[in-house]
Chain A
């Protein structure tokens, strides 16, 4: 079984700070990590490899330093890693990104037939959840998003049965491989990387593909040029016109402060008091 896992290197958003005056991202010192959602996809791929044998190939599009993210995945147990890196990819939106990644998956499948492509549910920096479906459509793969469990894999007949998170329940879907799965978070726990794997990963020669090596046929479909969406403005939030009514426990006792807030709220919103009285358990 040959599985391709697509990942993205992202800034650790928990540590991103925005400059309060210029509204620009302060990137200095923010560590780059493997998109946390992608790790659920990788762990699921590794479990399938444990069960059925085969190979897990990592795929990432990004700047040269994204190599580190791929090496991290090698340390967890992935077999091979390809970094698609070229200045021509810069400025890609999700449509252009899916075009480039789909071309690279096609290229990888020329080396060895691919059975499943995995992606995370979404990335923590873009939060779009659009690249997985995009790759699937471009490659004509069956698409299974928000998969919470892989119930059954029938290798002989190239069939797979999964549970997919839907609104209000779980769909049980059976489809044919090759397929693309976007894995839901919290569905498994990433294994521990043993020291020998970490040493192996540090020395692993990640393959770096330019746009030519990745098999890009139409350069008008990659990077900024291939992106239909245009970012017209980036800005910080605007404060509400009226400032909050502020009280401090420095100036009055907590009891007086809370009493005051409650009275103000209920005076301004009498129906709220009625609602609370109807529901409250005292």
Chain B
């Protein structure tokens, strides 16, 4: 009951008119920034830090403003994923896979509302997890050494086969390409630059956001330009918006998915070396393995929208656990929040909960408030968001291009990144022509470095002994799941296919 009393105190701190106003402002700005390709949660928070300082806000109000932006951006990332097929930020990438097909089928409203609800569920449970388990959860993070992290990343890649393409070879090619791109930059384990060609801009490696915006947004613009030349009616596509709220039966069928993925995402968020992107990715691929009996994931299955959204919002909450309890950021955004805490003279770490209880509980209360506010804000606004689909492509596409360029330049302030983005745009255009899925490329780039570093750390620590990789019960368990996840679909998949072939002969339908 001690905890409920503390939470009550937290609400007493957070529930002032000023703080509610700040939370509202933060949620709104966060949603907008999350939706714009290129601007993600970490930039969103960083952009608003000066505002918090200029207004002379104290510790708790500043944190309320900035965490509202954080949660808002996590909500907002899905909007452009669903409507345009362009992820607003890294964690929203998996939402493209089923959200965009749903929108194309005229179910954009449903997809947006459903993902809003899934986001709420994920974030809601994660906030409770944060309250109840933060000090204990830190112990989970301590179970993960380099060997276990490597097993976790390997698991992510081995379940990749299910994602985004019917052609497994192309999926594997895309992932390998992404892994290759991840090699660019200074190798931290030896200090030697790789594939940088003496270009100082490449020393830190490629920025994921630059890659995402180039691959998804710019290639979309290029495809549009090409089609427009060939076919004058390209902008005459009729788009049906359909109903705006999901039916009860759809919500019901998605509920188990949301609960499972909230848990998975939360755990991924708690691990400082994993983060929200891995959370949404593992949520999606595991859920596909579990419930996708009819092979509808990737073609606009509502569960494929709910899974990554619940997963990545739960991971956002989970990432606050190591930040508050260890002072170790679990994601880019929490790194920024950590810097804010430090500049407010609050030292996160093992003693934060006892030394600054007002800040911690005020923050947690603010998370609840922001979460309800976002749900209340997002559902009625679905109708407004879907209007985007009414904008003719000849107006929309230049806007997408402009926002991409401004967004990327805004992050790094470097024109070199713009060139890299254009390069990725052309590459994305080519790959789309070849029907190579784009999501595994980003996953490879995103996870490749961490995977490689953890492998090398593990092996170096054990003086070159590779058996260190299967030296703990946890890593053995992770490897077992990975291998089952890889092998099982091969066996079952073959059987399902042969059955489908048999049926096809009878009905003559469904030609792939």
Same complex:
no
